[in-house]
Amino acid sequence: MATLKKELSTINLPDLSGSFQVGWMGSVSYELESLRILNFQLQNSNLNLRPGQGVTASLSNNYVSITGNWKVKKAFITLRGTFDLSVDDVSISISLNLGKDPSGRPTASVDHCNSSVGHVSVHTSGRLSWLLNFFHERIENKLKNILKQEICEIVRQSTTSHLEPYLQTLPVTLMIDTVAGIDYSLVGAPWVTSEGLDTPFKGEFFRQSQRSPVPFDAPPIRLSQEHDRMTYFAVSQYVFNTASQVYHQAGYMNFTLRNEHNLTELAGNHSAKGWWKPTCLTSKAPTFITMMSCFSSSFLLHVLQTPLEFPIQLHTKSLGAVIPQLARLYPNTELELEISPESAPFLKFSPGNVTLIPVMNIQAFALLPNSSDRKPLFQLRARTNISAIISVSSGRVLGSLTPGSKLELELKHSNINFFNVQLLETVFNYYATYLIYPTLNAKLEEGFPLPLPRDTYLNSLELQIHKVSDKWGLDGDL
């Protein structure tokens, strides 16, 4: 709007001249020269939808102030002076067609422009300036025609020289961290209906070092047919799952745990640092995406690590009760766990909740005393079904884990002969139920703030989770 106002103020008004009859004086010639727009004030604006095409911007009750010089000539007599002219009730209607270019950026072009001019008032100064009243109507008509023509020409030029180039500069990717970026280019032209404007974005995470096609398709998203809220935002599981795919391929979901690692120390570990710190908690991605991306890693970190305050530590002596041969083969020996997902863990949306079913490989090693060597002991496959209920309250995204999610262990390989995996599984689930789940729920109940642009506020916020998409209904004063 500021750009259009500036451009309209540069309208070049031509000199006006002509002649008129003044009773006994006969024909008198006049000239209006050095016309200049002092101010082109845009006041009331309104945006309307054009179903199937685009939008119409209406600007009403605008006014223009113009200054210039006048000259009246009769034979050898010439009179001069200045005048100030005000044009009221200027209305502009601009119809824009919306689309997208091959890069996924939005496009806009003027389909139709119309302008109208209301009343013109002239205030003059100089000797015999009352003579201008004789040709006031002629001046008014000429100025109206010039302004109506020039206004729409300026609108088209401004769209071509300012709006369209600006749209070409809009970013369609965002670098999240050193590993990943997100592509939010348009996958289709904005679709205008009588009820609203639907804009389909890609929402795909990609690896910065080597971008490759995603091996799964994005599910269709159908926005709510309700129209009682200002904004509806829908995001499918595709967004979260492409993020999981990228970080899994980059190895940022792999962890090495030793007995001295507690949760705080683990965050500084090189193998976990990338996923736990930069790519999760300090990511520039929207906070809800960050929370869901961190969800699986935080749960598995709690489940699969054994902090010092736990009665059972990563030590052959502590684990001797569930794996007796460990203490015999490697007495008083520290253990190390390497944990990595078999595949990228994917989220699934179902009515009312979010489900994550990660499958992790856990390789155990014995750290030999006075040596840098380590001996492989056994490999487990760990599977769990994590369900969470997500809600929104007071501008924060909240959640709670659904009780009953159990960790299932399977012995894939063992260098220390068979042992009772079910007993180890029972121990893990005991601590998950009485320590890990309450800790995670306390954090989820505290919630994460919604990311909002500066000076943006929302009210009557509602979040709904559906089978194929996570649908947000947002209502706020922007």
- Lowest pLDDT segment from 183-192, 305-314, 379-388: 305-314
* Packed helices 287-304 and 437-446: angle between N→C axes, nearest 10 degrees: 160
C-alpha–C-alpha distance, residues 408 and 430, integer Å: 12
Question: In angstroms, what CA-CA distances link 235 with 232, 291, 316, 428?
Answer: 10, 14, 47, 34
Q: Give tens-digit pLDDT for 259-282.
A: 765 433 443 343 434 333 333 444
Predicted local confidence at residue 97, as pLDDT: 92
Q: Give tens-digit pLDDT for 100-126.
A: 999 999 999 999 999 988 888 877 775
Q: Give tens-digit pLDDT for 150-206.
A: 899 999 999 999 889 989 988 888 888 888 888 989 999 999 988 888 888 888 899
Q: Which residues of 43-75 are buried (b: 16+ CB within 10 A; e: fewer)?
A: eeeeeeebeeebbbbebeebbbebebbbbbeee
Question: In angstroms, what CA-CA distances link 228 with 56, 199, 225, 462, 474?
Answer: 22, 18, 9, 12, 10
Across 39-62, average pLDDT: 89
Predicted local confidence at residue 363, as pLDDT: 95
Residue 396 has pLDDT above 80, yes or no: no
Residue 96 has pLDDT above 90, yes or no: yes
Q: What residues have CB less than 8 Å from 292, skipping those under 6 apart?
A: 240, 347, 354
Across 72-92, average pLDDT: 83
Q: Give tens-digit pLDDT for 137-148.
A: 777 888 888 888
Q: What is residue 125's three-state secondary structure?
A: strand
- Among 12-26, 226-240, 349-363, 393-407, the range of highest mean pLDDT: 349-363
Provide, rounded to the nearest whole percent, the portion of the chain with pLDDT above 70. Answer: 79
CA dihedral 187, 192, 198, 199 (to 10 degrees): 40
C-alpha–C-alpha distance, residues 402 and 467, integer Å: 17
C-alpha–C-alpha distance, residues 96 and 237, integer Å: 33
C-alpha–C-alpha distance, residues 172 and 401, integer Å: 34
Here the tokens at position 399 are: 């959640």
Using CB atoms within 10 A of its CB, is residue 408 exposed (0-12), middle (13-18) or buried (19+)?
middle
Cβ 237 vs Cβ 347: under 8 Å: yes
What pTM was computed for the model?
A: 0.72
C-alpha–C-alpha distance, residues 67 and 83, integer Å: 6
